[in-house]
Structure 1
Amino acid sequence: MVSITVPENYGTVIAVALGGIPLLSWIQGIVVTSLRKPAKVRYPQHYATAEQCKENPAAHKFNSAQRAHGNLVENMPQTMLYMLVAGLKYPNATAALGTAWIVFRALYAHGYITSTKPNGLGRFNGGPFWLVQGALWGLAVFGVGWELLKF
Protein backbone atom coordinates (compact mmCIF):
# COMPACT_ATOMS: atom_id res chain seq x y z
CA MET A 1 0.00 0.00 0.00
CA VAL A 2 1.16 3.49 -0.82
CA SER A 3 0.11 6.45 1.26
CA ILE A 4 0.32 9.95 -0.11
CA THR A 5 1.16 12.90 2.07
CA VAL A 6 -0.02 16.18 0.64
CA PRO A 7 2.43 19.01 1.30
CA GLU A 8 1.25 22.00 3.28
CA ASN A 9 1.29 24.37 0.31
CA TYR A 10 -0.39 21.95 -2.13
CA GLY A 11 -3.39 24.29 -2.20
CA THR A 12 -1.42 26.60 -4.49
CA VAL A 13 -1.02 23.76 -6.97
CA ILE A 14 -4.76 23.08 -6.85
CA ALA A 15 -5.53 26.78 -7.28
CA VAL A 16 -3.41 27.01 -10.44
CA ALA A 17 -4.29 23.61 -11.93
CA LEU A 18 -8.00 23.54 -11.15
CA GLY A 19 -8.64 27.28 -10.91
CA GLY A 20 -6.30 29.20 -13.19
CA ILE A 21 -6.19 26.82 -16.15
CA PRO A 22 -9.98 26.39 -16.43
CA LEU A 23 -10.37 30.16 -15.98
CA LEU A 24 -8.07 30.72 -18.96
CA SER A 25 -10.18 28.30 -21.01
CA TRP A 26 -13.36 30.10 -19.99
CA ILE A 27 -11.87 33.48 -21.00
CA GLN A 28 -10.72 32.12 -24.35
CA GLY A 29 -14.18 30.65 -24.88
CA ILE A 30 -15.69 34.09 -24.31
CA VAL A 31 -13.26 35.56 -26.87
CA VAL A 32 -14.29 32.93 -29.43
CA THR A 33 -17.97 33.58 -28.75
CA SER A 34 -17.52 37.34 -29.09
CA LEU A 35 -15.85 36.91 -32.48
CA ARG A 36 -18.48 34.51 -33.87
CA LYS A 37 -21.14 37.13 -34.74
CA PRO A 38 -18.80 39.55 -36.60
CA ALA A 39 -17.41 36.53 -38.46
CA LYS A 40 -20.95 35.54 -39.48
CA VAL A 41 -20.33 31.93 -38.50
CA ARG A 42 -23.59 30.33 -37.42
CA TYR A 43 -23.94 27.47 -35.00
CA PRO A 44 -23.23 24.56 -35.22
CA GLN A 45 -20.48 25.44 -37.72
CA HIS A 46 -17.19 25.14 -35.85
CA TYR A 47 -15.04 27.25 -38.19
CA ALA A 48 -15.52 29.77 -40.98
CA THR A 49 -15.02 28.39 -44.46
CA ALA A 50 -12.15 29.51 -46.68
CA GLU A 51 -14.66 31.52 -48.72
CA GLN A 52 -15.95 33.29 -45.60
CA CYS A 53 -12.37 34.16 -44.61
CA LYS A 54 -11.66 35.67 -48.03
CA GLU A 55 -14.80 37.82 -47.83
CA ASN A 56 -14.57 38.81 -44.19
CA PRO A 57 -11.33 39.36 -42.19
CA ALA A 58 -13.35 38.81 -39.00
CA ALA A 59 -13.90 35.21 -40.08
CA HIS A 60 -10.16 34.59 -40.17
CA LYS A 61 -9.81 36.15 -36.73
CA PHE A 62 -12.61 33.92 -35.45
CA ASN A 63 -10.89 30.83 -36.87
CA SER A 64 -7.64 31.84 -35.19
CA ALA A 65 -9.36 32.30 -31.84
CA GLN A 66 -11.22 29.01 -32.24
CA ARG A 67 -7.99 27.17 -33.07
CA ALA A 68 -6.09 28.77 -30.16
CA HIS A 69 -8.86 27.70 -27.80
CA GLY A 70 -8.95 24.22 -29.34
CA ASN A 71 -5.22 23.83 -28.81
CA LEU A 72 -5.62 24.91 -25.20
CA VAL A 73 -8.37 22.35 -24.64
CA GLU A 74 -6.17 19.66 -26.23
CA ASN A 75 -3.33 20.39 -23.78
CA MET A 76 -5.25 21.19 -20.58
CA PRO A 77 -6.04 17.69 -19.25
CA GLN A 78 -2.52 16.30 -19.22
CA THR A 79 -1.04 19.57 -17.94
CA MET A 80 -3.49 19.65 -15.05
CA LEU A 81 -2.71 16.02 -14.23
CA TYR A 82 1.05 16.63 -14.40
CA MET A 83 0.60 19.48 -11.96
CA LEU A 84 -1.52 17.52 -9.51
CA VAL A 85 1.06 14.71 -9.46
CA ALA A 86 4.24 16.84 -9.55
CA GLY A 87 2.87 19.11 -6.84
CA LEU A 88 2.89 16.20 -4.38
CA LYS A 89 6.66 16.53 -4.16
CA TYR A 90 7.44 19.91 -5.73
CA PRO A 91 4.51 22.18 -4.87
CA ASN A 92 6.31 25.52 -5.23
CA ALA A 93 8.05 24.67 -8.48
CA THR A 94 4.86 23.14 -9.85
CA ALA A 95 2.73 26.18 -8.98
CA ALA A 96 5.35 28.47 -10.55
CA LEU A 97 5.57 26.35 -13.71
CA GLY A 98 1.79 26.15 -13.90
CA THR A 99 1.52 29.91 -13.65
CA ALA A 100 4.15 30.28 -16.39
CA TRP A 101 2.17 27.81 -18.52
CA ILE A 102 -0.95 29.97 -18.15
CA VAL A 103 0.97 33.12 -19.11
CA PHE A 104 2.53 31.47 -22.17
CA ARG A 105 -0.84 30.01 -23.20
CA ALA A 106 -2.38 33.50 -22.96
CA LEU A 107 0.47 34.88 -25.10
CA TYR A 108 -0.05 32.01 -27.55
CA ALA A 109 -3.75 32.86 -27.94
CA HIS A 110 -3.13 36.61 -28.12
CA GLY A 111 -0.46 36.17 -30.79
CA TYR A 112 -2.61 33.74 -32.76
CA ILE A 113 -5.65 36.04 -32.72
CA THR A 114 -4.10 39.49 -33.13
CA SER A 115 -0.86 38.97 -35.04
CA THR A 116 -0.55 40.04 -38.65
CA LYS A 117 2.02 37.30 -39.25
CA PRO A 118 0.87 34.80 -41.89
CA ASN A 119 -0.35 31.28 -41.08
CA GLY A 120 -0.89 31.98 -37.40
CA LEU A 121 2.82 32.43 -36.72
CA GLY A 122 2.04 34.98 -34.01
CA ARG A 123 1.13 32.04 -31.79
CA PHE A 124 4.81 31.36 -31.27
CA ASN A 125 4.91 34.35 -28.91
CA GLY A 126 3.68 31.81 -26.35
CA GLY A 127 5.59 28.85 -27.76
CA PRO A 128 7.61 28.29 -24.57
CA PHE A 129 4.49 26.73 -23.05
CA TRP A 130 5.76 23.47 -24.60
CA LEU A 131 8.95 23.67 -22.54
CA VAL A 132 6.99 24.37 -19.36
CA GLN A 133 4.60 21.52 -20.12
CA GLY A 134 7.60 19.25 -20.66
CA ALA A 135 9.10 20.30 -17.33
CA LEU A 136 5.82 19.51 -15.56
CA TRP A 137 5.75 16.12 -17.29
CA GLY A 138 9.31 15.45 -16.15
CA LEU A 139 8.58 16.38 -12.54
CA ALA A 140 5.47 14.18 -12.53
CA VAL A 141 7.00 11.14 -14.23
CA PHE A 142 10.59 11.17 -13.02
CA GLY A 143 10.31 13.26 -9.88
CA VAL A 144 7.26 11.52 -8.42
CA GLY A 145 6.27 8.49 -10.51
CA TRP A 146 9.72 6.95 -10.68
CA GLU A 147 10.02 7.06 -6.90
CA LEU A 148 6.76 5.17 -6.50
CA LEU A 149 8.08 2.24 -8.53
CA LYS A 150 9.35 -0.49 -6.25
CA PHE A 151 11.61 -3.00 -7.94
Structure 2
Amino acid sequence: MVSITVPENYGAVIAVALGGIPLLSWVQGNIVTSLRKPAKIRYPQYYATPAECKENPAAYKFNCAQRAHGNLLENMPQTILYMLIAGLKWPNATAALGTAWIVFRALYAHGYVTAAKPNGVGRFHGAPFWLVQGALWGMAVFGVGWELIKF
Protein backbone atom coordinates (compact mmCIF):
# COMPACT_ATOMS: atom_id res chain seq x y z
CA MET A 1 0.00 0.00 0.00
CA VAL A 2 1.22 3.47 -0.87
CA SER A 3 0.63 6.30 1.53
CA ILE A 4 0.78 9.89 0.31
CA THR A 5 1.10 12.75 2.74
CA VAL A 6 -0.27 16.03 1.46
CA PRO A 7 1.69 19.05 2.70
CA GLU A 8 -0.05 21.87 4.51
CA ASN A 9 0.31 24.36 1.63
CA TYR A 10 -1.00 21.93 -1.01
CA GLY A 11 -4.21 23.96 -1.34
CA ALA A 12 -2.27 26.59 -3.30
CA VAL A 13 -1.19 23.92 -5.78
CA ILE A 14 -4.79 22.76 -6.19
CA ALA A 15 -5.99 26.35 -6.61
CA VAL A 16 -3.54 27.02 -9.44
CA ALA A 17 -3.70 23.60 -11.13
CA LEU A 18 -7.43 23.00 -10.90
CA GLY A 19 -8.61 26.62 -10.69
CA GLY A 20 -6.25 28.99 -12.48
CA ILE A 21 -5.34 26.83 -15.44
CA PRO A 22 -8.93 25.86 -16.32
CA LEU A 23 -9.94 29.51 -15.86
CA LEU A 24 -7.31 30.53 -18.43
CA SER A 25 -8.71 27.93 -20.82
CA TRP A 26 -12.23 29.28 -20.31
CA VAL A 27 -11.07 32.85 -21.00
CA GLN A 28 -9.23 31.82 -24.15
CA GLY A 29 -12.22 29.78 -25.31
CA ASN A 30 -14.42 32.84 -24.90
CA ILE A 31 -11.97 34.93 -26.92
CA VAL A 32 -12.12 32.38 -29.74
CA THR A 33 -15.93 32.41 -29.57
CA SER A 34 -16.06 36.21 -29.67
CA LEU A 35 -13.84 36.30 -32.77
CA ARG A 36 -15.80 33.65 -34.68
CA LYS A 37 -18.67 35.91 -35.77
CA PRO A 38 -16.54 38.79 -37.14
CA ALA A 39 -14.43 36.16 -38.93
CA LYS A 40 -17.61 34.70 -40.47
CA ILE A 41 -16.50 31.18 -39.59
CA ARG A 42 -19.51 28.94 -39.04
CA TYR A 43 -19.63 25.89 -36.84
CA PRO A 44 -18.33 23.20 -37.08
CA GLN A 45 -15.48 24.72 -39.11
CA TYR A 46 -12.48 24.76 -36.80
CA TYR A 47 -10.28 27.20 -38.73
CA ALA A 48 -10.65 29.74 -41.50
CA THR A 49 -9.23 28.67 -44.83
CA PRO A 50 -6.26 30.56 -46.31
CA ALA A 51 -8.65 32.15 -48.81
CA GLU A 52 -10.94 33.34 -46.00
CA CYS A 53 -7.94 34.82 -44.18
CA LYS A 54 -6.88 36.72 -47.30
CA GLU A 55 -10.35 38.11 -47.76
CA ASN A 56 -11.04 38.94 -44.11
CA PRO A 57 -8.31 39.94 -41.60
CA ALA A 58 -10.69 38.94 -38.78
CA ALA A 59 -10.48 35.35 -40.03
CA TYR A 60 -6.70 35.37 -39.60
CA LYS A 61 -7.10 36.76 -36.09
CA PHE A 62 -9.65 34.02 -35.34
CA ASN A 63 -7.19 31.38 -36.54
CA CYS A 64 -4.49 32.80 -34.27
CA ALA A 65 -6.81 32.74 -31.25
CA GLN A 66 -8.00 29.24 -32.11
CA ARG A 67 -4.42 27.98 -32.44
CA ALA A 68 -3.31 29.62 -29.18
CA HIS A 69 -6.23 27.98 -27.39
CA GLY A 70 -5.52 24.65 -29.06
CA ASN A 71 -1.90 24.81 -27.95
CA LEU A 72 -3.05 25.52 -24.40
CA LEU A 73 -5.34 22.49 -24.50
CA GLU A 74 -2.45 20.36 -25.76
CA ASN A 75 -0.26 21.36 -22.81
CA MET A 76 -2.79 21.63 -19.97
CA PRO A 77 -3.24 17.99 -18.90
CA GLN A 78 0.40 17.15 -18.36
CA THR A 79 1.13 20.49 -16.72
CA ILE A 80 -1.70 19.97 -14.25
CA LEU A 81 -0.43 16.46 -13.54
CA TYR A 82 3.15 17.69 -13.05
CA MET A 83 1.88 20.29 -10.60
CA LEU A 84 -0.24 17.86 -8.60
CA ILE A 85 2.74 15.52 -8.26
CA ALA A 86 5.53 18.07 -7.72
CA GLY A 87 3.38 19.92 -5.20
CA LEU A 88 3.55 16.91 -2.89
CA LYS A 89 7.18 17.78 -2.17
CA TRP A 90 7.43 21.48 -3.04
CA PRO A 91 3.99 23.08 -2.74
CA ASN A 92 5.13 26.71 -2.64
CA ALA A 93 7.58 26.43 -5.53
CA THR A 94 5.05 24.44 -7.56
CA ALA A 95 2.27 26.98 -7.00
CA ALA A 96 4.66 29.81 -7.94
CA LEU A 97 5.81 28.03 -11.11
CA GLY A 98 2.21 27.18 -11.98
CA THR A 99 1.28 30.83 -11.64
CA ALA A 100 4.24 31.79 -13.85
CA TRP A 101 3.07 29.19 -16.39
CA ILE A 102 -0.38 30.81 -16.48
CA VAL A 103 1.13 34.28 -16.96
CA PHE A 104 3.40 33.10 -19.79
CA ARG A 105 0.52 31.20 -21.42
CA ALA A 106 -1.60 34.38 -21.29
CA LEU A 107 1.28 36.35 -22.87
CA TYR A 108 1.63 33.63 -25.50
CA ALA A 109 -2.04 33.87 -26.43
CA HIS A 110 -2.08 37.67 -26.30
CA GLY A 111 0.99 37.91 -28.53
CA TYR A 112 -0.43 35.37 -30.93
CA VAL A 113 -3.79 37.11 -31.28
CA THR A 114 -2.89 40.80 -31.12
CA ALA A 115 0.61 41.03 -32.59
CA ALA A 116 0.80 42.39 -36.11
CA LYS A 117 3.70 40.05 -36.80
CA PRO A 118 3.15 37.44 -39.52
CA ASN A 119 2.80 33.74 -38.81
CA GLY A 120 1.90 34.27 -35.16
CA VAL A 121 5.44 35.24 -34.20
CA GLY A 122 4.03 37.43 -31.41
CA ARG A 123 3.39 34.26 -29.44
CA PHE A 124 7.08 34.11 -28.56
CA HIS A 125 6.47 36.77 -25.86
CA GLY A 126 5.14 33.91 -23.74
CA ALA A 127 7.58 31.23 -24.91
CA PRO A 128 9.21 30.89 -21.44
CA PHE A 129 6.19 28.78 -20.50
CA TRP A 130 8.19 25.89 -22.01
CA LEU A 131 10.96 26.40 -19.43
CA VAL A 132 8.46 26.53 -16.59
CA GLN A 133 6.70 23.43 -17.89
CA GLY A 134 10.07 21.66 -18.09
CA ALA A 135 10.89 22.63 -14.52
CA LEU A 136 7.54 21.26 -13.31
CA TRP A 137 8.17 18.04 -15.24
CA GLY A 138 11.62 17.70 -13.65
CA MET A 139 10.25 18.34 -10.18
CA ALA A 140 7.49 15.78 -10.69
CA VAL A 141 9.66 13.04 -12.20
CA PHE A 142 12.96 13.40 -10.42
CA GLY A 143 11.80 15.00 -7.19
CA VAL A 144 8.75 12.90 -6.43
CA GLY A 145 8.49 10.15 -9.03
CA TRP A 146 11.65 8.34 -8.04
CA GLU A 147 10.59 8.40 -4.37
CA LEU A 148 7.35 6.61 -5.24
CA ILE A 149 9.18 3.82 -7.08
CA LYS A 150 10.67 1.34 -4.64
CA PHE A 151 12.58 -1.52 -6.21
What TM-score bracket applies, with the shorter chain setting the length?
Answer: over 0.9
What pairs with 1:1-151 in structure 2 (closer than 5 Å)? 1-151=1-151
Encode CA deviations 1:69-107: one digit per residue, 9 max, x unaligned.
000000000000000000000000000000000000000
Could you tell me how far apart the structure 1 residues matched to 2:17 and 2:85 are? Answer: 11
Encode CA deviations 1:19-51: one digit per residue, 9 max, x unaligned.
000000000000000000000000000000111
Percent identity over the alignment is: 85
Q: CA deviation at 1:147?
A: 1.4
Count of aligned residue pairs for this structure pair: 151
Could you tell me how far apart the structure 2 residues matched to 1:67 and 1:118 are? Answer: 14
Q: CA deviation at 1:150?
A: 1.6
SS at match of 1:47: coil
Could you list the structure 1 runs, at least 4 aligned residues long, displaced by more than 2 angstroms after superposition.
none
Encode CA deviations 1:94-146: one digit per residue, 9 max, x unaligned.
00000000000000000000001111110000000000000000000000001
User: Where do 5+ consecutive residues of structure 1 fail to align?
Assistant: none
User: Where do 5+ consecutive residues of structure 2 fail to align?
Assistant: none
RMSD over aligned Cα atoms: 0.5
**One-letter amino acid of the structure 2 residue matched with residue 123 of structure 1:** R
**One-letter amino acid of the structure 2 residue matched with residue 38 of structure 1:** P
Could you tell me how far apart the structure 2 residues matched to 1:81 and 1:150 are? Answer: 21
Could you tell me how far apart the structure 2 residues matched to 1:138 and 1:96 are? Answer: 15
